[in-house]
Structure 1
Amino acid sequence: MKKGLKIIGKIFLLILGIIVGFVIISAVSHNIQNSIEKNKYKIGQSIEVDGKNMHAYVTGSGEKTIVLLSGLGTASPIADFMPLAERLSKDYKVVILESFGYGFSRTTKKDRSNENIVNEIRTALKELDISGPYILMPHSISGIYSMYYAKNYPNEVEAIIGIDESVPNQTKTNKDEDMSHNLTLLNTLGIMRDLSYLSPSADDGMNQNNYYSAELVKLKNKATLWNSLNVSIINELNTVNSNTKELYDVKYPNDLPVLAFLSKDTVDTEPDWLPLHEEVISNAAIQKIEPLSGGHYLHWTNADKIAEMTEEFISTHLK
């Protein structure tokens, strides 16, 4: 009996040792591959913000500056926005900012509050030596940060052009669920990368219009392995409710031109989506809503139309 228990104990320790060894190898391999891949696919430039490296991509040379701000969890904002940035850059200077935890930028454990994120955006633009006022073009959750920016620093924002952007009151009755910080281990230990070997990336519709080069698709897929479930993104997700609550019932400033491109798919599936965006309008003469066919990532399929309508809106409402 005792001999049998000893054998079972040895087998258990052997299995435990194999598992621990696998986890260590996975974590080390993941971090080495991250470093190699980031050097291989690097595009844009690094700047120092709050003592950490933040990444940005700048193109075009127009008199007005459009700042593209990504949605929550968009692994590579540079890859994600590139086709739209290329089209906008024909008339404007265009900046793609990769906030902490995104793209090539470092992660941070600093609170992902509206105040901190907006101050990081402002610092990044100053480090890039790009002066305002800016035209903010937020996708999804960045609509909240853009509204906070315009409310608190009105002289630095001359317009907001949203891409199916979030608005504050959307969490009044539909709170977002918090995500466990333990999930960061899936990133730190390289488990997300290991799972990718077993299950190749599914086609998410990003390149259905052939806007994206093979290199951009690879960058997006690699960045997903670098950034999925990292500490910055989980912290940001867990502050959505408090960040939106801070702006409950706030409307856009009366003198701020706003163009909101809304996804018809979102409008059709979420009946409150259009009314919620109508609520934040304070001046219908210069604040418009334009539904476009397509999903939440409208710029994946509507880059040409967004660029064209953006140029028309800017030429009409901004001098």
Structure 2
Amino acid sequence: MTQQEENKTGSGTKIKKVRNILLKIIGAIVIAIVLFLGIVYITNVMSSHSEQKRIVPYGQHVSVDGKNMNVLIQGEGEETIVLLPGYGTATPGLDFKLLIDELSPFYKVVAVEPFGYGLSDETEKKRTTENLVSEVHEALQQLNINRYMLMGHSITGIYGIDYVNKYPNEVTAFVGIDSSVATQPGMDIKFPLKTFAFLKKSGLLRLTMKISADPYAGLAFDEKTVEQMKMISNKNMYNDTTLNEMEHISSNFKGAQGLTFPKDLPLLLFVQANNEGVAGWIPLHEGQIKDSVHGKVVTMDGSHYLHHTKFKEIAKNVRVFMKEVK
């Protein structure tokens, strides 16, 4: 064998060794990933089963469309406030607790948990504004609640503007808590629904939530409430019903663009003062009240979930505002 042939043979052997080592490393990485995903999945299944037993019921079930919708009622005031959540607020009845406690000495407060939220059932019915509004209204009808202020967070600005136009003889005022506006930019986005579904079913969502910063740290919720909210969030986040709602977000926003609040409907909007994510956030809300006989925008420093930190101020402003418009 010539020197050149020996060099080629030696080089070939080295290449094979390097290739074998790389294949072993890749194989080990793949096995590690599969084991990791398997552990995450099994942990999620076991944890979900365990948590389901530890969730403490609250509120009451109302039959809507053959399914159970959970509604929390607190307070015995002459006037009624109906509270609706923002998109993805997994447990509305508890998420609104601080605000409900401030309002309930003066009002009858009714926190409705739409299908897919809180302790309500899921549904296969499309999450269009029309269906969502109809279901909430049916729940209130079942409870014989026929006159009320409609108060809601975030996407309730979209569902609410449809609601007050459909049931003008029932709604006495609309109160928005950093509520969405149909013409706000960026709502024509297409969400990666399959990715979110995978994160949910694989258990990676639970893991992500566990290692992420505590969203309730420093807030006034007691420990038991926080524990319940976290467990119900694990149950509801990105379930099939709320994913379907996410799929309809763009069309629901578009459908609301031709609507305005009735001029004679008292309109109180609490708006995040420092929202850097949406251009013209405050002017968008000021535009909603410009033709209202009784319209007011109140800016507040805080996160999108203003009712987590400004619950006392919100409750006080609602009482003052409603006295002024009478």
Scaled by the length of structure 1, what TM-score is found? 0.85
Q: 3-state SS of the aligned residue for 1:123?
A: helix
1:235 maps to 2:238: no
Aligned pairs for 1:92-241 (under 5 A) are: 92-127=107-142, 129-171=143-185, 174-196=187-209, 199=211, 201-204=212-215, 206-208=216-218, 210-241=219-250
Contact 2:129 2:162 (C-alpha < 8 Å) held by counterparts: yes
Contact 2:37 2:202 (C-alpha < 8 Å) held by counterparts: no
> Over aligned residues, Cα RMSD in angstroms?
2.7
CA distance in 1 between partners of 2:67 and 2:259 (Å): 32
1:259 maps to 2:272: no
Residue correspondences, number: 302
Q: 3-state SS of the aligned residue for 1:61?
A: coil
Give unpaired runs (5+ residues) of structure 1. none
Q: 2:307 corresponds to which residue?
A: 299
Q: 1:73 corresponds to which residue?
A: 88
Superposed CA offset, 1:89-131 (max 9, x none): 011000111111111122222111111000110111122x242
Contact 2:187 2:249 (C-alpha < 8 Å) held by counterparts: no
Q: 2:319 corresponds to which residue?
A: 311
Q: 3-state SS of the aligned residue for 1:168?
A: coil
Superposed CA offset, 1:149-200 (max 9, x none): 01111112111011000011114x6523323235324323444334555x2x
How far 1:42 moved relative to its partner? 2.0
Contact 1:84 1:307 (C-alpha < 8 Å) held by counterparts: yes
Q: Which amino acid in 1 is paired with 2:252? A: N
* Bigger Rg over Cα: 2
Compare 66-75 and 29-38 and name the one that shifted more: 29-38
CA distance in 2 between partners of 1:141 and 1:91 (Å): 26
CA distance in 2 between partners of 1:178 and 1:269 (Å): 17
Q: 2:52 corresponds to which residue?
A: 35
Contact 1:75 1:102 (C-alpha < 8 Å) held by counterparts: yes
CA distance in 2 between partners of 1:28 and 1:296 (Å): 32
CA distance in 1 between partners of 2:260 and 2:228 (Å): 37
Give unpaired runs (5+ residues) of structure 2. 1-19
When residues 23 and 294 of structure 1 are mapped into structure 2, their CA distance, relative to the original with a 3 A threshold, is: closer
Contact 1:181 1:234 (C-alpha < 8 Å) held by counterparts: no
Q: Which amino acid in 2 is paired with 1:218? A: E
Superposed CA offset, 1:215-264 (max 9, x none): 11112211221111111122112211111111214221011000000011
Q: 1:279 corresponds to which residue?
A: 287
CA distance in 2 between partners of 1:115 and 1:29 (Å): 37
When residues 270 and 36 of structure 1 are mapped into structure 2, their CA distance, relative to the original with a 3 A threshold, is: same
Compare 21-30 and 112-121 and name the one that shifted more: 21-30
CA distance in 2 between partners of 1:270 and 1:182 (Å): 25
Scaled by the length of structure 2, what TM-score is found? 0.83
